[in-house]
Chains A and B, each alone.
Chain A
Amino acid sequence: MSHAPVPTNQDERLVFRQLFPALVRLDCQGELRPALATSWHTDSTGRSWTFALRDGAQFADGSSLTARSIEIDWSRRAGALREAGLDSVRVINDHTIRLTMNDPRDSLPRAFADPLWSVVSTSLVTRMSGARLTVSLGPGQPILEIAATGTGDLRDALDAGADLVLSGDPQVIDYAARTSELDSYLLPWDRTYVLLQHPGTQPPTAALDSSLKLSLVQDVVQTDARPSMSQQWWNSSSCSVEISMKATAPTVPRIVYQQTDPVARKLAERLVAIAEDQPPLSAVAVDPLRFAAELERGGNRGYILGIPLQSASPCRESAKWTRRGRLYPLIDTRQHVIVRRGSPALTVDWDGTPRFLVETDLQQETSR
């Protein structure tokens, strides 16, 4: 199955971040930083934005990256980008590109740091097989393999020479700490696990309070977690999200989670254990590829899902979830990045995604 060139989960974001640069990026403090573009300006309407591209920009495979490459890639993803507000793309010259948005923007949208606006090399093929994502230059030439979390033991991956591992598993972190050639760094809180319920449905337990959240953190998830904050980006008032509160009565007494997400499984099981429902609920795992369809179809008592704690385009992201029902935040999680000593320098973006620093980044970092 050829994967759609839009990152949908943490692992794919990690891959995107390594392989496909965006015009700008947000650092771990949320500051806007140059990336592919070195400078930008807008016209008086606030709709048209012109970017000057970095000299000598390249894709991960070494091919040159120009304004023309951006136009070609984005025309492939025109539907998704138009939904995100893009009206048109115009190549001024190899190093200059002008984007026209649907709506006027006061300042440079932070959304351009979202992986959606990355520039994807047409020569790179990403392929999902089982729980393993392979990036290759063409058929049979993999240049990067990513094992999805929850499959196998990540310590085996480290033993096999993996340069970068993301994990919240205490066993893996402990193993890395005991191994001299591996360094372990704590990443920012990057993910919130929520209970999603269709409109008109009561939570399975009345006590979705801080003491429950604490219990989930301490006794249940067995990963680096904290009780979730009450205020989340998806219910910030700046987004005028239209939530269709069409009530759908749940018919199946079960809480659904993604099979590959162990944290979601534990949360679902705990909710099932303490639920006051009659008949009792059950926790049911579904294939990640079928999860979205299950969510769309509705009819279940609830869903456990992990969504990014940060979003470069919160209004678009929040619309994705909130239109399906109500989100009850449960816990925030974060991961450790384990890096082999001698690997390139690493930086962490605003959304907690680590990224190997390329030369230009280093120059920019030092210039700051």
Chain B
Amino acid sequence: MFGAILLAVLIPLGALAFGVRRELDRRLTREYQARVEAMAAVLESDLRRASGLVGQRLEAIVAQLSKDNRFRLAVQGDIASRPYLLDAAGQAMRLSGLSLLQIQHPDGRILSSGHFRNEFDRMEPDLPLLLESASDSLVLLRARTPDSSVLALTRIDSVRIGTRSVKIIGGVEADPRLLGGLARDSSLAVKLEYPGAAMASIPGSRIVRELRLPYIDLTAGSGVSSDTARLLVTQSLDALGSLRKGVTRWFLVALALTVLMAVVGAAWLSARVSRPLRDLAEKTTRVDLDRLDQSFATERSDEIGTLSRLLASMMERLRASSVRVREAERRAAVGDLARQVNHDIKNGLAPIRNVLRHLSQVLQQDPASLPQVFEARRGTLESSVEYLNTLARNYDRLAPGIERKACDVNAIVEQVISNISHDGVGIRAQLSPHPPLALADALVVRRILENLVGNALDSLSGKPGGEVTMSTERVGGAPEPARVRIVVADTGTGMTESELNRAFDDFYTTKSGGTGLGLSIVRRLILDLEGTLRVETQPGEGTRVLVELPTVPARESGP
């Protein structure tokens, strides 16, 4: 989310910065172009003006000298006027405000020099010719002074003395002040470049226009040399550079603010969206059937609120379902108990019914033997009544307790065999002669065996010649504790693997009219006695149920 916000803000911002810089460049360049054109025009007009100014001053000097008799005499060779002539150029130069003034004889001899007074009599015949060939335009002249040189924008004029045309060369200094005056723009500068001067480019500026001037150098020594000088209009790139820097700086500031706001925004959104979702997830993981008290109540009106309300209504439905499930469980448990009671009573009444049926049969067929028969079956009646009586006591307590004590499993097996009705089916007992005494509740063992034998007999129905075998034996022993094993085997229908897997579940039955509780009760009772149960079955071949019970420890067991 953070990255997405950043991208969403940075890309438009970058495009804006790029656009602003580009537009700025374009406009400034256009503006500069116009200024450069204006500047070049001003420069040209200034140069024309400077040329006119020098021309006017030379004209004034010419007018003054042409009237000056001492000058006239000196030019014509009058010795007495010579000192006057030597100083004439200097005085005229200072009075006229020129920086260079040289008066030359037609033969090229310097008669008087304003900028280098003691240069008189030196021959310089080429200079006037070069200057005259430049007609009205200014010439950049580099002339010697006693200690250095002077660079002047120069023109030439002449004064006629008799038959001689005396040359008057004058100029104004091309110093930085003059050039600064030419450039009346803070970002544009005028630079004079001429042979021999430093040609190094000014850093941070570019040349936008150049004007050419004839250039004469008198300081080179080897005669007069003529060349070209350039007046360069340079544009300072500082302003543009600082403007660009400013835009970049503000862009970076905006960028920093954006990143900061994105971070803050992401943190806020996280607090607003992610945390409630995480909370909802945590609450959901805590929900199970035992904990349906999680509250998803909320007052939020956004998507999270909607989700919370959906979860809350689901919880409501879950709670209602849970109540219904518990009610069903309770009802099932009550039904189970009733069926168990019914089943146990039926098991207790069956021997009595058999005895009564036998007695009535004897009464009808051989009434005389009734007392003997009665006496013989009296034990069965009494034990059945006792069984029912115990059952009644147990159910009366509602929690039938188990009373574990030493009991003879052989005797119980025999009792079960004698009690059970097994019409035409053989029940064989293979009893160990000295089985150890089991540590168990005899009644519970009897219930287990009656259930198992009942099931075995059921599996033989419709299968003539079938047989049920009950056997006891001692298993285990040192070092493991010895155990009593009781096996109920039949040659009945057997079970498939899926039938076996479900055989001990509550309410599972393969018989019509069965409760499906017999084996599940058996398993529970064996677990109560701390015994084990194993079933070996093969469909079509029969089933062996092996029950192992703990024995009485050695000191408790009899011989």
Interface residues of A in 269-314 (CB under 8 A from B): 269-270, 272-274, 278-280, 282-285
**Cβ contact within 8 Å between B118 and A273:** yes
Q: Is the CB of B118 within 8 A of A278?
A: no
A273 and B116 contact, Cβ closer than 8 Å, known pairs A283-B146, A285-B147: yes
Distance in angstroms from B375 CB to nearest chain A CB is: 166
- Residues of chain A within 8 A (CB-CB) of B147 are 254, 282-285
What 1/0 mask marks residues of chain A from 259 to 276 whose CB sits below 8 Å from any chain B CB? 000000110111011100
A61 contacts chain B at the CB level, 8 A cutoff: no
CA A283 to CA B144, docked complex, whole Å:
11
Q: Is A218 an interface residue (CB 8 A)?
A: yes
Q: Which residues of B contact A201 (CB under 8 A)?
A: none
B148 within 8 A of A: yes
A282 contacts B146, CB within 8 Å? yes
**B118 surroundings in chain A (CB, below 8 A):** 220, 266, 269-270, 272-273
B116 touches A280 (CB 8 A): no
Contact of B146 among A218, A219, A269 (CB under 8 A): A269
Is B222 in the interface zone, CB < 8 Å from A? yes
Given known A-B contacts A219-B83, A282-B146, A269 and B117 have beta carbons under 8 A apart: yes
A219 in contact with B86 given A274-B122, A282-B148, A283-B146 (CB within 8 Å): yes
Residue of B nearest to A274 (CB): B122
Known interface pairs A218-B82, A269-B118, A270-B118; A279-B221 also in contact (CB < 8 Å):
yes
Across the interface, which residues of A come within 8 angstroms of B458, CB to CB? none
User: Would you call A96 an interface residue if the criterion is a C-beta within 8 Å of the partner chain's C-beta atoms?
Assistant: no
Q: Mark A201-223, 1 if CB is under 8 A from B, else 0.
A: 00000000000000000111010
The answer to whether B146 touches A280 (Cβ under 8 A) is no
- B469 on the A face (CB < 8 A): no
> In whole angstroms, how far apart are the Cα atoms of A274 and B121 in the complex?
9
**A/B pair count, beta carbons within 8 Å:** 41
**List of B residues within 8 angstroms of A222 by Cβ:** 83
Whether A219 contacts B82 by the Cβ 8 Å rule is yes
- B219 within 8 A of partner (CB): yes
Chain B residues in 8 Å Cβ range of A220: 118
Q: Nearest-CB distance from A250 to chain B (Å)?
A: 17
Tell me how far the C-beta of A160 lies from the nearest C-beta in chain B, rounded to whole angstroms. Answer: 27
Task: Please tell me if B2 contacts chain A, counting CB pairs below 8 Å.
Answer: no
Q: Which chain A residue lies CB-closest to B222?
A: A278
User: 1/0 per residue B115-137: CB within 8 Å of A?
Assistant: 01111111000000000000000
Q: Are B221 and A278 in contact (CB under 8 A)?
A: yes
Chain A residues with Cβ below 8 Å from B219 are: 280
Of the candidates A254, A266, A283, the one having the most CB atoms from chain B within 10 angstroms of its own CB is A283
* 1/0 contact string of B267-281 vs chain A (CB within 8 Å): 000000000000000
Separation of A168 and B476 alpha carbons in the complex (Å): 156
With beta carbons under 8 angstroms apart, the residue of B120, B121, B146, B222 that contacts A272 is B146
Closest chain B CB from A286 CB (angstroms): 11
Q: Which residue of A lies closest to B120 (CB)?
A: A219
A215 closest partner in B (C-beta): B121
- Contact among B82, B121, B146 with A268 in the assembled complex (CB-CB below 8 Å): B146
Interface of A is mostly: helix
Report how far A222 CA is from B86 CA in the complex, Å: 11
Interface residues of B in 146-160 (CB under 8 A from A): 146-148
Complex Cα distance A254/B145, Å? 12
Contact yes or no, A280 B122, CB < 8 A: no
Q: Which residue of B lies closest to A280 (CB)?
A: B221
Are the CB atoms of B122 and A273 closer together than 8 Å? yes
With the chains together, A270 CA to B147 CA distance in Å? 11
- Rounded to whole angstroms, the CA-CA distance of A284 and B222 in the bound complex is 22
Identity of the chain A residue whose Cβ is nearest the Cβ of B221 in the assembled complex:
A278
- Closest beta carbon of chain B to A283's beta carbon, Å: 4
A355 to chain B, nearest CB (A): 33
Complex CA–CA separation, A284 to B83 (angstroms): 24
Alpha-carbon gap, A220 to B146, bound state (A)? 13
Does A280 lie within 8 Å of B117, measured CB to CB? no
B288-314 contacts to A (CB < 8 Å): none
Nearest-CB residue, chain B, relative to A279: B221
Using CB atoms, name the residue of chain B closest to A268: B146
A276 to chain B: closest residue by CB: B221
CA of A279 to CA of B144, assembled, Å: 12
Q: Which of A219, A268, A280, A285 contacts B144 (CB 8 A)?
A: A280
Whole-angstrom CA separation of A261 from B110 in the bound complex: 26
Supposing A278-B222, A279-B221, A285-B147 touch, asked if A269 and B116 sit within 8 A by C-beta, the answer is yes
Chain B contacts of A279 at CB under 8 A? 221
* Distance, CA A282 to CA B148, complexed state (A): 6
**Chain A residues whose CB sits within 8 angstroms of the CB of B146 once the complex forms:** 265, 268-269, 272-273, 282-283
Between A265, A270, A278, A285, the greatest number of chain B beta carbons within 10 A of the residue's beta carbon is seen for A270
Which chain A residue shows the least CB distance to B83?
A219
Cα distance A280–B116 when bound, in Å? 14
Task: Provide the residues of chain A in CB contact with B83, threshold 8 Å.
Answer: 218-219, 222
**A284 contacts across to B, CB distance below 8 A:** 147
Residue of A nearest to B147 (CB): A282
Which residues of the other chain, B, contact A265 by a CB distance below 8 angstroms?
A: 146
Q: Using Cβ atoms and an 8 Å threshold, which residues of chain B touch A218?
A: 82-83
Measured between C-beta atoms, what is the minimum distance from A138 to chain B in Å?
42
Task: Output the least CB separation between A273 and chain B (Å).
Answer: 4
B86 contacts which chain A residues (CB < 8 A)? 219
Mark each residue of chain B from 200 to 240: 1 if its CB lies under 8 Å from any CB of chain A, else 0.
00000000000000000001011000000000000000000
Q: Which of A222, A254, A266, A269 has the most CB of B within 10 A?
A: A269
The docked-state distance in angstroms from the alpha carbon of A273 to that of B148 is: 12
CB-nearest residue of chain B to A282: B147
Rounded to whole angstroms, the CA-CA distance of A268 and B119 in the bound complex is 11
Q: Report the Cα distance A269→B115, complex, angstroms.
A: 11
Q: How far is the CA of A328 from the CA of B315 in the complex (A)?
A: 127
Alpha-carbon distance A154/B346, docked complex (angstroms): 165
Q: Which of B83, B116, B122, B147 has the most CB of A within 10 A?
A: B147
Please, which residues of chain A bring their CB within 8 A of the CB of B122?
273-274
- Contact string, B7-28, partner A, CB cutoff 8 A, digits 1/0? 0000000000000000000000
Please indicate the chain B residues that have their CB under 8 angstroms from the CB of A273 in the complex: 116, 118-120, 122, 144, 146
Chain B minimum-CB-distance residue to A254 = B147
Bound-state Cα–Cα, A282 to B118, Å: 12
Residue interface mask B47-87, A partner, CB < 8 A = 1: 00000000000000000000000000000000000110010
In the complex, which residues of chain A have a beta carbon less than 8 angstroms from the beta carbon of B119? 273
Residues of A within 8 A of B148 (CB): 282
CA distance A210 to B425 in the complex (A): 179
Q: How far is the CB of A268 from chain B (nearest CB, A)?
A: 7
Tell me, rounded to whole Å, the shortest Cβ–Cβ distance linking B547 to chain A: 133
The CA-CA distance from A270 to B117 in the complex, in Å, is 8
Chain A residues closer than 8 Å to B121, beta-carbon distance: 274
Q: Interface 1/0s, chain B 76-119, versus A by CB < 8 A? A: 00000011001000000000000000000000000000001111
* Distance of A274 Cα from B119 Cα, bound (Å): 7
For residue A266, which residues in chain B have a CB less than 8 angstroms away from its CB? 118
| Contacting residues, chain B, for A270 (C-beta < 8 A) | 118
Chain A positions within 8 Å of B117 at CB level:
269
Sample of 30 A–B contacts (CB below 8 Å):
A218-B83, A219-B82, A219-B83, A219-B86, A219-B120, A220-B118, A254-B147, A266-B118, A268-B146, A269-B117, A269-B146, A270-B118, A272-B118, A272-B146, A273-B116, A273-B118, A273-B119, A273-B120, A273-B122, A274-B122, A278-B221, A280-B144, A280-B221, A282-B146, A282-B147, A282-B148, A283-B146, A283-B147, A284-B147, A285-B147
The interface of chain B, by Cβ under 8 A from chain A, is 82-83, 86, 116-122, 144, 146-148, 219, 221-222
Closest CB pairs A-B (n = 4): A269-B146, A270-B118, A283-B146, A269-B118
List 14 extra interface pairs beyond A219-B120, A283-B146, A283-B147, CB under 8 A: A219-B83, A254-B147, A265-B146, A268-B146, A269-B118, A272-B146, A273-B118, A273-B119, A273-B144, A274-B121, A280-B221, A282-B147, A284-B147, A285-B147
